[in-house]
């Protein structure tokens, strides 16, 4: 998504660089109106300030000046009264205006006409972002100017001077305008969102590596997230129509009042919010036009209005150009959407760079296997004491994230779902305790924070693909946060998003899988499973609850011996179990009627990426003509492709291979001293698709042959 | 033969209690036991002493095979000894015809003649006799066209010459037969001991520079094979799967590393992941069946399937004493042995979660710990034995060389 819109923004940037300055003015006047309507909408939200008994205006002002310490969010207690101004200052600096910032609060009543008070709001990107925001739906007029703005705001100082002047006016004007409430102030956090460097790109490693260039990517992502806010690019024309309707329908006063009502009806849904935003924009446009006509505006505003008028005719032309863009997009999008190559650890330079940033001091394992140089492998256990000693120094690391990292390291938390849930809960805690530091914007800073958490977790243990997907989800949520939300609300919505993700994508998905899979368990079946997949365990439990008569064969392998845990739980429930090791799979396969396997991920070429040994089990089952059913939640699907188990894998601690349970002698003691000897402890392997009879996901069961028609991409 | 009975029962006990395991050790000890059986055997003055000797061997062999039917090497050696007796019988009668003119009157000269005669009889004539048993092939046609007819002639003439030779030199031929058989068994033991040499000699021809080899568990034959390649300055890399539940792969890895071979130990579960980067799989076997199938340590079928998937040659190295003339039927079950669960789970480890109240005869928890896998012949690319490399489909020919067809079922004639 992001890449697509990035491409678009570039195109538009080149195209419309010539007249963006003039357009800015018009857009800003619109922006003023829109933010005004936002303010109204907020007031109508009963849940927006649950503990506020103040009048609406008061409430909002209160919120702006000193973030309301809502009971749900103790983390908000940071008492920085001049928070908004300081945020403005930050934004200003981001815009790279070298002028001296004016720290005066924006809602100074009389300053509207003066240059100084205007400048802060402009630079605050409050002026900048709204235009970007319109890209998605305001196709004709807004898309053209918006793109230049993001890059320009980030890097180009030359046009920004004029732009600054121009942009400064509208927020100021809305501050001023007597009829409009001060809620207009609310936009800042929202604008701040826009600058968030949230990388919605799938690859998490990328986010670690790419932190070196945040400014640029943030600009791009702004646009992306902006546009992503709207339903889809293709819907642009309809939204235009909608705005047209709105415009014709209402006058200056009518629009704002009607909008809140509309939102009231469908408050909870994002969709409604978007509609509202659209309407707000329309209203803003109206306001701009009207304002220019009415006259009680500064000369600047007049200019802005003029440009806005100019904008309208241009709109028609840009529609056409846009069509072209949409056609062109696919290639660009494809190119940019291609997954970022993961960190290759045989690249000396990159490894050096990564080491400098690393939180965890790790020493490379000795006697590495030549085939796996490209994967990280560290001496196990060396990080733990180091991490423990650093506990109080790692200031940016939230304790819950820290804890999860340690759990990953020690192997206390394992399994795709377990790790993913642990991580999300830790992030949830971290978000709960998060306060936007002064001079920072929430979405941007929070995304950076999450990225740093993620890189910490990666240092503890490489991420699984499902975790990568979850992180991608979270970041896109942050990037898409409605900009009208206050910090506490944004945090609350993020937390509920995380909860919803855990619930929908994992918990409920597992239940759905169980419901599907149970139809495949008949009486007198002999079910074989390998390792300890959590979903399969649920299936077996459920089948047992239903009173099906079946037998379970638990196949296990060293060094993790996870199957013993599963065996213990199943036997305790009274399920008849047989336990064996993976070498005996050919022996046991004669009696098996179904093989149920879990998966860490399913890749888009149908490869099942799972616990090492799964491929062997599936292969033997295939050779014996036993159906292989792979259970995998849809959130674990990934667009990556993989042919073997070597290009991407995870190397476990080699030392665990040494210790054979129940055997006294240790033949390979001191193995590290002999350079001829290596121990290889792979974690995953790739099962070729032809071994798998069926994939059971929460959306249903997929015959594996259907991979030819790319139906897997439905899940990705 | 009361003297050997303690020895036999001792060995039977050892087999039953699995004190002796591994086809090499079992084969060697069986051969030694049978040698002492033969040497203790008191040759009666019956008409057919070879048959009597064979009966004695059969009687012992039956006990040994029953003691541990899984150790196919026991049966192999018993059959080999029976075959030797038959061969020696044929050769001695053949010699008897020749030597009739020479040795009829000179009983005193026997001792002197004895020195050179065995070499003649055992080596040359046994080879001839083997040729007689062997079906005609292109190679035998090339090697010795004139011999075969001669042998066949002697073989055909044995029937009528029997009476003459027996009557003439009864005692001589009896002693000679026994002596020859003992010597031949000695040769067999030597062959078992030294089977690694001819196998490992072929290593250089099968392993190229920078080869990547995968093996599972530990086999002495494989070890010697790899050693030989290393000694010839081949540099190659070996992946050793540890081979649950015995984890002998660790021992093999240690031994290989001592010789400077690049070795990587992998878990059994990683075999499929790694096999795509492997050039050749070299494994040992427990027994090679007549159809070319292999009884091998558990896990081998998985390796063979993975190798087949990635078109990696699956090479089995095995001494000829592992060559079993039987055709397998349901070998996974009938030619397998379930070992103690303690290899997988500690005793009492699951006592806490077992519900003992609901014992309705079927235990809730079974642990399966088989010893062997059966690898069907289609998964095997090559057998390397001490007689050279053979494809699985050639195994029945090799078997015809070592065993006589009527010995396949080792049972005393009396019972039959």
Lowest mean pLDDT segment, chosen from A446-450, A589-593, B161-165: B161-165
Q: Which of B246, B263, B267, B353 is the best residue to mutate to test the A interface, defined by the most A CB atoms within 10 Å of its own CB? A: B267
Q: Among A440, A472, A505, identify where a domain stops.
A: A505
Share in percent of chain A as helix, strand, coil (round to 5): 60, 10, 30
Taking the Cβ of residue A575 and every Cβ of chain B, the question of whether any pair is shorter than 8 Å is answered with yes
Chain B residue at shortest CA distance from A673: B257
Query: For residue B273, which residues of chain A lie inside 8 Å, CB to CB?
Result: 612, 615, 644-646, 649, 682, 685-686
pLDDT at B187 over 90: yes
CB B88 within 8 A of CB B174: no
A471 and A526 part of one domain: no
Taking the Cβ of residue A603 and every Cβ of chain B, the question of whether any pair is shorter than 8 Å is answered with no
Which of A580, A611, A657 shows the shortest C-beta gap to B367? Answer: A580
How does residue A275 score in pLDDT terms, banded at 50, 70 and 90? low
Higher pLDDT, B311 or A306: B311
pLDDT at A644 over 80: yes
Taking the Cβ of residue A663 and every Cβ of chain B, the question of whether any pair is shorter than 8 Å is answered with yes
Q: Which of A558, A584, A654 is the best residue to mutate to test the B interface, defined by the most B CB atoms within 10 Å of its own CB? A: A584
How high is the mean pLDDT of chain B?
81
Kindly state the average pLDDT of the residues B154-176: 53
The answer to the question of residue B377 being in a domain is yes
Instruction: Say how many CB pairs under 8 Å bridge A and B.
Output: 187
A578 and A525 part of one domain: yes
pLDDT at residue A133 in the model:
40
CATH of the domain at B310: 3.40.50.10470
The DSSP H or E segment spanning A611 is strand A608-611
CB B135 within 8 A of CB B400: yes
SS3 A577: strand
Chain A residue at shortest CA distance from B379: A623
Report the percentage of chain A scoring pLDDT > 90: 24
CA distance A572 to chain B (A): 5
Kindly state the average pLDDT of the residues B69-79: 92
Kindly state the average pLDDT of the residues A310-315: 46
pLDDT at residue A210 in the model:
36
CATH of the domain at A556: 3.40.50.10470
Question: Which tokens go with A135?
Answer: 């890209």
pLDDT at residue B215 in the model:
96
Q: Which of residues 542-571 of A touch B (CB under 8 A)?
A: 556-559, 564, 567-569, 571
pLDDT at A179 over 50: no
The answer to the question of residue B250 being in a domain is yes
Q: Among A471, A505, A539, identify where a domain stops.
A: A505
Which of A577, A613, A660 shows the shortest C-beta gap to B364? Answer: A577
The answer to the question of residue A235 being in a domain is no
What are the C-alpha distances in Å from B85 to residues A333, B38, B48, B58, B115? 82, 10, 12, 11, 20
pLDDT at A470 over 80: yes
Kindly state the average pLDDT of the residues A418-439: 90
**Which residues, 6 or more positions from A188, have their beta carbon under 8 angstroms from its beta carbon?**
A64, A84, A87, A88, A91, A124, A126
CB contact under 8 A, B366 and A676: no
Chain A residue at shortest CA distance from B251: A667
Lowest mean pLDDT segment, chosen from A155-159, A603-607, B30-34, B249-253: A155-159
CA-to-CA distance for A373 and A367, rounded, in angstroms? 11
CB contact under 8 A, B244 and A558: yes
Residue A292, judged by CB atoms within 10 A of its CB (0-12, 13-18, 19+), counts as: buried
Q: Which of residues 479-538 of A touch B (CB under 8 A)?
A: none
CA-to-CA distance for A90 and A134, rounded, in angstroms? 23
Lowest mean pLDDT segment, chosen from A245-259, A597-611, B395-409: A245-259
CB contact under 8 A, B264 and A680: yes
Report the percentage of chain B scoring pLDDT > 70: 76
Query: For residue B355, which residues of chain A lie inside 8 Å, CB to CB?
Result: 571-572, 574
pLDDT at B49 over 70: yes
CA distance A420 to chain B (A): 24
The answer to the question of residue B231 being in a domain is yes
* Nearest partner of A292 among A53, A656, A30, A595, judged by Cα: A30
A580 and A704 part of one domain: yes
How does residue A495 score in pLDDT terms, banded at 50, 70 and 90? very high
pLDDT at residue B182 in the model:
92
Which of A581, A620, A676 shows the shortest C-beta gap to B263? Answer: A676
CA A373 to chain centroid, in Å, comes to: 30
The answer to the question of residue A624 being in a domain is yes
Taking the Cβ of residue A667 and every Cβ of chain B, the question of whether any pair is shorter than 8 Å is answered with yes
pLDDT at residue A108 in the model:
42
pLDDT at residue B203 in the model:
93
Which of A558, A575, A579 shows the shortest C-beta gap to B367? Answer: A579
Higher pLDDT, B162 or B294: B294
pLDDT at B108 over 70: no
Task: Answer positive or negative: Cα dihedral of B38, B41, B45, B47.
Answer: negative
A559 and A604 part of one domain: yes
pLDDT at residue B28 in the model:
92
CB contact under 8 A, A681 and B298: no
CB contact under 8 A, A663 and B247: yes
CA-to-CA distance for B278 and B280, rounded, in angstroms? 6
Report the percentage of chain B scoring pLDDT > 90: 51
The DSSP H or E segment spanning B288 is strand B287-288
Query: For residue B264, which residues of chain A lie inside 8 Å, CB to CB?
Result: 369, 677-680
Helices (H), A199-344: 204-209, 214-229, 236-249, 254-265, 270-294, 299-337
CA-to-CA distance for A473 and A80, rounded, in angstroms? 31
A550 and A691 part of one domain: yes
A607 and A693 part of one domain: yes
CB contact under 8 A, B305 and A583: no
CA distance B21 to chain A (A): 19
pLDDT at B406 over 60: yes
Taking the Cβ of residue A384 and every Cβ of chain B, the question of whether any pair is shorter than 8 Å is answered with no
A552 and A607 part of one domain: yes
Report the percentage of chain A scoring pLDDT > 70: 47
Query: For residue A616, which residues of chain B lie inside 8 Å, CB to CB?
Result: 269, 271-272, 302, 306
Query: For residue B309, which residues of chain A lie inside 8 Å, CB to CB?
Result: 619, 688
Query: For residue B346, which residues of chain A lie inside 8 Å, CB to CB?
Result: 661-662
Lowest mean pLDDT segment, chosen from A139-148, A435-444, A665-674, B219-228: A139-148
The answer to the question of residue A655 being in a domain is no
The answer to the question of residue B114 being in a domain is no
Which range has highest mean pLDDT (A281-295, A407-421, B136-150, B236-250)? B236-250
What's the domain range around B318? 195-407
Which of B362, B364, B370 shows the shortest C-beta gap to A584? Answer: B370
The neighbouring-strand residues paired with A48 are: none
CA-to-CA distance for B391 and B382, rounded, in angstroms? 5
Query: For residue B365, which residues of chain A lie inside 8 Å, CB to CB?
Result: 567, 571, 577-579
Query: For residue A564, which residues of chain B lie inside 8 Å, CB to CB?
Result: 345, 349
Task: Answer positive or negative: Cα dihedral of B331, B334, B336, B342.
Answer: positive
CA distance B253 to chain A (A): 8
CA-to-CA distance for A127 and A122, rounded, in angstroms? 5
How does residue B296 score in pLDDT terms, banded at 50, 70 and 90? very high
Which of A559, A576, A580 shows the shortest C-beta gap to B267? Answer: A559
How does residue A12 score in pLDDT terms, banded at 50, 70 and 90? very low
For chain B, the first-to-last Cα distance in angstroms comes to 22
A557 and A692 part of one domain: yes
Taking the Cβ of residue A681 and every Cβ of chain B, the question of whether any pair is shorter than 8 Å is answered with yes
pLDDT at residue B97 in the model:
60
Which of A572, A582, A681 shows the shortest C-beta gap to B268? Answer: A582
A689 and A542 part of one domain: yes
CA-to-CA distance for B31 and B80, rounded, in angstroms? 9
CATH of the domain at A459: 1.20.120.420
CB contact under 8 A, A579 and B366: yes
Lowest mean pLDDT segment, chosen from A320-324, A691-695, B50-54: A320-324
Which of A580, A612, A658 shows the shortest C-beta gap to B270? Answer: A612
CB B217 within 8 A of CB B243: yes
pLDDT at residue A416 in the model:
86
A611 and A709 part of one domain: yes
How high is the mean pLDDT of chain A?
66
CB contact under 8 A, B368 and A580: yes
What are the C-alpha distances in Å from A453 to residues A221, A291, A395, A707? 20, 47, 12, 36
Kindly state the average pLDDT of the residues A460-481: 90
Lowest mean pLDDT segment, chosen from A703-712, B5-14, B215-224: A703-712
Question: Which tokens go with B45?
Answer: 């003055």
Lowest mean pLDDT segment, chosen from A228-242, A501-515, A646-660, B393-407: A228-242
Higher pLDDT, A476 or A367: A476
A485 and A537 part of one domain: no
Query: For residue B266, which residues of chain A lie inside 8 Å, CB to CB?
Result: 680, 682
CB contact under 8 A, A660 and B247: yes
A489 and A415 part of one domain: yes
pLDDT at residue A615 in the model:
96
Count: domains in chain B? 1
The answer to the question of residue A67 being in a domain is no
What's the domain range around A475? 395-505
Which of B253, B299, B345 shows the shortest C-beta gap to A668? Answer: B253
CB contact under 8 A, B244 and A685: no
Q: What are the backbone angles phi and psi of residue B236, rounded to the nearest 5°? A: -150, 175
Question: Which tokens go with A498?
Answer: 């995380």
CB contact under 8 A, B364 and A646: no
pLDDT at residue A516 in the model:
94
CA distance B336 to chain A (A): 9
pLDDT at B373 over 50: yes
Give the predicted TM-score (pTM) of the model.
0.67
The answer to the question of residue A176 being in a domain is no
Taking the Cβ of residue A672 and every Cβ of chain B, the question of whether any pair is shorter than 8 Å is answered with no
Report the alpha-carbon angle A276-A280-A285, nearest 5: 150
CA distance A346 to chain B (A): 19
ipTM over 0.90: no
CB contact under 8 A, A369 and B299: no
SS3 B258: helix
Report the alpha-carbon angle A91-A95-A99, nearest 5: 95
Which range has highest mean pLDDT (A125-139, A337-351, A672-686)? A672-686
The answer to the question of residue B17 being in a domain is no
pLDDT at residue A203 in the model:
36
Count: domains in chain A? 2
The answer to the question of residue B24 being in a domain is no
* Nearest partner of B322 among B410, B384, B252, judged by Cα: B384
Kindly state the average pLDDT of the residues B134-149: 58
Which range has highest mean pLDDT (A91-100, A277-286, B18-27)? B18-27
How does residue A258 score in pLDDT terms, banded at 50, 70 and 90? very low
């Amino acid at each position: 998504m992001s890449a697509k819109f990035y491409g678009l923004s570039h195109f538009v940037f080149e195209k419309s660089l010539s007249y963006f300055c003039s357009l800015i003015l018009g857009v800003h006047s619109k922006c003023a109106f829109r933010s005004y309507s936002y303010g109204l909408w907020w007031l109508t939200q009963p849940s927006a300030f649950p503990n506020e008994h103040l009048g609406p205006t008061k409430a909002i002002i209160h919120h702006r000046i000193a973030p309301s310490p809502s009971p749900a969010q103790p983390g908000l207690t940071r008492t920085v009264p001049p928070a908004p101004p300081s945020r403005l200052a930050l934004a200003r600096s981001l815009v790279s205006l070298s002028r001296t910032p004016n720290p005066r609060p924006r809602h100074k009543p009389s300053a509207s006409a003066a240059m100084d008070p205007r400048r802060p709001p402009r630079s605050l990107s409050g002026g900048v972002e709204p235009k970007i925001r319109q890209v998605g739906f305001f196709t004709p007029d807004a898309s053209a100017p918006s793109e230049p703005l993001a890059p320009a705001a980030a890097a180009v100082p030359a046009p920004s001077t004029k732009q600054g002047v121009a942009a400064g006016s509208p927020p100021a004007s809305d501050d001023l305008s007597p009829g409009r409430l001060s809620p207009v102030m609310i936009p800042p956090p929202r604008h701040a969102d826009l600058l968030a460097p949230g990388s919605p790109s799938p690859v998490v490693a990328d986010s670690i590596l790419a932190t070196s260039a945040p400014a640029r990517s943030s600009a791009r992502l702004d646009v992306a997230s902006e546009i992503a806010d709207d339903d889809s690019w293709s819907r642009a024309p309809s939204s235009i129509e909608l705005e047209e309707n709105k415009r014709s329908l209402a006058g200056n006063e009518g629009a704002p009042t009607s909008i809140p009502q509309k939102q009231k009806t469908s408050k909870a849904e994002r969709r409604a919010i978007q509609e509202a935003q659209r309407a707000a924009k329309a209203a803003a446009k109206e306001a701009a036009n009207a304002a220019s006509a009415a006259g009680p505006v500064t000369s600047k505003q007049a200019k802005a209005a003029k440009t806005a008028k100019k904008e309208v005719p241009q709109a028609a032309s840009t529609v056409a150009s846009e069509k072209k863009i949409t056609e062109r997009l696919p290639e660009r999008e494809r190119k940019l959407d291609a997954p970022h190559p993961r960190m290759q650890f045989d690249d000396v330079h990159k490894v050096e760079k990564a080491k400098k940033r690393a939180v965890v001091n790790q020493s490379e394992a000795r006697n590495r296997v030549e085939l796996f140089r490209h994967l990280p492998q560290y001496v196990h256990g060396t990080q733990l004491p180091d991490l423990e000693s650093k506990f109080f120094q790692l200031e940016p690391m939230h304790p819950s994230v820290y804890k999860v990292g340690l759990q990953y390291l020690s192997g206390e938390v394992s399994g795709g779902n377990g790790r993913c849930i642990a991580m999300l809960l830790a992030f949830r805690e971290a978000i709960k305790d998060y306060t936007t530091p002064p001079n920072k914007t929430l979405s941007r800073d929070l995304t950076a924070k999450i990225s740093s958490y993620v890189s910490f977790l990666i240092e503890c243990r490489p991420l699984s693909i499902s975790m990568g997907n979850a992180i991608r989800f979270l970041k896109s949520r942050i990037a898409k946060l409605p900009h009208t939300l206050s910090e506490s609300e944004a945090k609350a919505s993020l937390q509920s998003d995380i909860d919803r993700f855990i619930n929908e994508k994992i918990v409920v998905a597992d239940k759905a899988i169980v419901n599907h899979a149970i139809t495949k368990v008949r009486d007198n079946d002999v079910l074989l499973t390998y390792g300890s997949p959590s979903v399969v365990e649920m299936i077996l439990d459920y089948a047992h609850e239903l009173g099906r008569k079946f037998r379970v064969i638990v196949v296990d392998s060293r060094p993790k011996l996870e199957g013993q845990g599963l065996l213990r739980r199943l036997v305790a429930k009274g399920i008849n179990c047989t336990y064996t090791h993976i070498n005996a799979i050919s022996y046991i396969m004669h009696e098996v009627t179904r093989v149920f396997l879990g998966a860490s991920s399913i890749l888009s070429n149908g490869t099942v990426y799972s616990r090492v040994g799964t491929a062997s089990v599936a292969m033997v089952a295939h050779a014996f003509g036993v159906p292989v059913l792979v259970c995998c939640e849809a959130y674990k699907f990934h667009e990556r492709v993989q042919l073997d188990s070597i290009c991407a894998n995870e190397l476990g601690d080699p030392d665990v291979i040494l210790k054979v349970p129940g055997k006294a002698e240790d033949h390979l003691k001191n193995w590290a001293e002999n350079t001829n000897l290596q121990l290889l402890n792979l974690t995953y392997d790739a099962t070729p698709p032809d071994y798998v009879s069926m994939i059971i996901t929460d959306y249903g069961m997929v015959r594996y042959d259907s991979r030819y028609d790319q139906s897997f991409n439905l899940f990705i | 033969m009361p003297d050997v009975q303690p020895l036999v029962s001792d060995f039977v006990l050892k087999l039953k209690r699995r004190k002796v395991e591994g086809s090499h050790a079992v084969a060697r000890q069986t051969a030694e036991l049978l040698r002492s059986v033969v040497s203790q055997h008191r040759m009666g003055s019956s008409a057919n002493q070879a048959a009597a000797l064979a009966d004695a061997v059969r009687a012992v062999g039956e006990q040994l095979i029953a003691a541990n039917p899984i150790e196919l090497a026991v049966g192999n050696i018993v059959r080999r000894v029976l075959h030797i007796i038959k061969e020696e019988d044929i050769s001695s009668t053949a010699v008897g015809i020749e030597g009739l003119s020479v040795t009829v009157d000179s009983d005193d000269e026997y001792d002197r003649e004895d020195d050179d005669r065995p070499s003649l009889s055992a080596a040359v004539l046994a080879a001839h006799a083997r040729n007689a048993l062997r079906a005609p092939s292109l190679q035998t046609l090339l090697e010795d066209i004139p011999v075969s007819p001669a042998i066949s002639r002697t073989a055909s003439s044995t029937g009528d010459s029997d009476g003459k030779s027996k009557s003439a030199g009864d005692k001589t031929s009896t002693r000679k037969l026994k002596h020859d058989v003992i010597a031949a068994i000695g040769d067999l033991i030597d062959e078992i001991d030294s089977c690694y040499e001819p196998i490992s000699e072929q290593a250089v021809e099968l392993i190229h520079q920078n080869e990547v080899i995968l093996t599972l568990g530990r086999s002495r034959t494989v070890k010697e094979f790899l050693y030989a390649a290393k000694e010839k300055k081949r540099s190659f890399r070996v992946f050793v799967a540890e081979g649950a539940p015995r984890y002998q792969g660790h021992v093999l890895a240690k031994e290989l590393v001592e010789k400077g071979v690049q070795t990587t130990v992998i878990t059994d579960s990683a075999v499929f992941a790694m096999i795509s980067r492997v050039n050749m799989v070299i494994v040992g076997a427990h027994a090679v069946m007549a159809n070319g199938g292999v009884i091998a340590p558990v896990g081998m079928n998985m390796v063979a399937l993975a190798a087949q998937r990635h078109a990696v040659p699956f090479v089995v190295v095995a001494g000829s004493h592992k060559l079993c003339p039987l055709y397998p039927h349901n070998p996974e079950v009938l030619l397998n042995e379930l070992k103690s669960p303690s290899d997988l789970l500690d005793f009492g480890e699951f006592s806490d979660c077992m519900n003992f109240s609901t014992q309705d005869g079927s235990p809730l928890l079974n642990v399966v710990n088989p010893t062997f896998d059966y690898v069907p012949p289609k998964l095997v690319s090559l057998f390397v034995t001490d007689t050279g490399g053979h494809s699985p489909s050639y195994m029945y020919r090799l078997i015809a060389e070592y065993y006589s067809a009527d010995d396949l079922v080792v049972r005393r004639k009396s019972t039959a």
